[in-house]
């Protein structure tokens, strides 16, 4: 399945930011600092298990179910 990383990031933004662009910006910075290339993720991108693992760790930190 392609695009899992993008869908997980979108879920994080939807649940935590709830449309607030300032919070989305803060989350983007935190993800980038953790080594997750938020701007490069697309729904066509093949799944990378290491990247998805990093994202799932961040989701757990924020209390968002994967």
> What are the residue boundaries of the structural domains of the chain, listed by start?
4-61
Whether this prediction's pTM lies above 0.85 is answered by yes
Q: Over range 28-50, report the average pLDDT.
A: 93
The dihedral sign for the CA sequence 21, 23, 25, 28: negative
Cα distance between residue 14 and residue 1, in whole Å = 21
* Residue 1, pLDDT above cutoff 80: no
- Rounded to whole angstroms, how far apart are CA atoms 14 and 35? 21
Q: What is the pLDDT of residue 18?
A: 92
Name the DSSP letter for residue 43: T
16-31 confidence digits (pLDDT tens): 999 899 999 999 999 9
């Amino acid at each position: 399945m392609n695009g899992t990383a993008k869908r997980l990031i979108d879920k994080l933004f939807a649940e935590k930011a709830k449309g607030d662009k300032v919070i989305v910006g803060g989350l983007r910075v935190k993800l980038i600092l953790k080594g997750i290339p938020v701007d490069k993720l697309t729904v066509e991108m093949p799944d990378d298990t290491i990247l998805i693992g990093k994202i799932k760790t961040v989701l757990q930190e924020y209390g968002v179910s994967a």
